[in-house]
Chain A
Amino acid sequence: MPVQFLSDDWAKALTAAASEHAEFMSAASGKHAIFELSVADSPAADVYHMEFSGDSFTVRAGAPTGDSDIKAKLDYATNVTISRGQLTGQAAAMTGRMQVTGNIEKMMSLGKALDLLARVEESLDITY
């Protein structure tokens, strides 16, 4: 069943798929970070966050309850491009298509895991 990109259903589906993706979980293992992403022109959530908690990974629509380590701003089209694997999150951050502030060391330490998220999303039926 298709899920709308950046909706609650998408967040739950991505959380479940990522948790079963061995390569992603290996890349994320032991990492602790909260990413908060603000998405301009989003037809669904305009803020969502990803939480790496050592041995687990969660995506939720809306802002995190605690402080985020990294805040990112991007537009919906860029986020779709990343989700489809046509642009990596690292590349978006490094070229300014996604404006990132915060703990850059944490962001870079999760670069490989973040880049694998697009492969995780390949297994989902997402409506953009």
Chain B
Amino acid sequence: MVKSLAYVGVASPALAEWEAFGPEVLGMEVRERENDDVLQLRMDDRHHRLAIHRGERNSLLYLGWDAGDEDTLGACFEVLQRNGLSGRWGTEEECQERRVLSMVVADGPGGIRHEIVSGQKVEPKTFRPGRPISGFVTGEEGMGHVVLAVPDLKEAHTFYTSGLGLRKSDEISTFIDLVFYHCNPRHHSLALTQIPGVRGLHHVMLEVADIDDVGLAYDLCMERSIPISMTLGRHVNDQMVSFYVRSPSGFDIEYGWGAISVGADWSVAQYDRPSIWGHKMIAQTPPGAFEEVPR
């Protein structure tokens, strides 16, 4: 089934802010704009990993999942059909826009659009970070992870496990409940929390290769008065050392280093706290690019 998180697309009015925030703070590379309404950001030699589409308000538009090859993509389509989940083949125009060879489009829980793809365009030896960093941890682990709000956790669990083939990593229950899922050695490519009547993106995690990259980004946020949502800390489950910064599009970016990997012998665990230390929530406004789900 799906092998990694390939890309994320959001709508936002803040393209100009991303042109500075993406490269200068996060170290991503801004692709040369092909039109004024889309800003594409790179993290490695893939064509792009994050796309900001011009929109009136902040919202999650789609998530792209790499199926690995056409046979697996076809199998994904069949599994979606067999499980009674909606799915269709993407058009040539849709594939061209995302720079993939083929695509299956599926509406997930709450109406979140998922694009399962094969053949994402790669441009070897072309990635140039926006500022000096050691590099992003991508490869077989994909671009990072996303944390989503969904209206119904049980329905979502069925879609992501039976439909996309993700496997549960663990759960954290505090004042909110979070369930984590993996599809490769990255501890989680997806986490879900239930907010009745709401769907959307809480944060995107980007992992860097050196803890100093995290510290330098933290310094840059402080110097530029970019709102930190959560202070430096280490999570209990993936053990990532990270901080959270509010992106120009409302959702947070978790910028981290040092997460553990999951293997074949992985056992699901439960935790009653999100972090071993740190991650103090200092945001003054709620995070996220969320929208109401019609009842």
Contact surface of A with B, Cβ cutoff 8 Å: 87-88, 90-91, 93-97, 100-102, 104-105, 107-112, 115
Contact = CB atoms under 8 A, between A and B. Distances in A.
Interface stretch (B24-32, B42-50, B261-269, B285-293): B285-293
Contacts of B198: 90-91, 94-95
Given A87-B197, A95-B198, 4 more contacts: A88-B196, A94-B290, A108-B175, A112-B175
A84 B143 CA distance: 42
Interface in B153-185: 175-176
Contact of B149 (A94, A101, A105, A108): A94
| Size class of the contact patch on chain B | 10 to 19
Interface string B124-165: 000000000000000000000000010000000000000000
Q: Closest 6 A-B residue pairs measured CB to CB?
A: A105-B281, A109-B175, A94-B290, A91-B197, A91-B198, A104-B283
B225 interface: no
A93 B195 CA distance: 11
B35 interface: no
Given A91-B292, A94-B290, A102 B284 contact: yes
B290 A111 contact: no
A104 B175 contact: no
A76 to B, nearest CB: 18
Contacts of A108: 175-176, 281, 286
Contacts of A95: 198, 290-292
A32 B149 CA distance: 26
A48 to B, nearest CB: 21
B286 A104 contact: yes
Given A95-B291, A109-B175, A100 B285 contact: yes
Given A87-B197, A88-B197, A108-B176, A94 B285 contact: no
A101 B195 contact: no
A76 B176 CA distance: 27
B224 to A, nearest CB: 21
Contacts of B286: 93-94, 100, 104, 107-108
B196 A101 contact: no
Given A94-B288, A109-B175, A104 B195 contact: no
B175 A90 contact: no
B284 A104 contact: yes
A115 to B, nearest CB: 8
A52 B85 CA distance: 44
Nearest to A108: B175
Interface string B269-295: 000000000001101111110111000
12 contacts: A90-B198, A91-B195, A94-B198, A94-B288, A101-B284, A101-B285, A104-B281, A104-B287, A105-B281, A107-B286, A110-B175, A111-B175
A104 B287 CA distance: 9
Nearest to B292: A95
A109 B15 CA distance: 33
A53 B200 CA distance: 33
Nearest to A88: B196
B58 to A, nearest CB: 9
Nearest to A97: B292
Interface in B181-211: 195-198, 200
Nearest to B287: A104
Contacts of A94: 149, 195, 198, 200, 286, 288, 290
Contacts of A100: 285-286
Given A95-B292, A112-B175, A90 B283 contact: no
Contacts of B287: 104
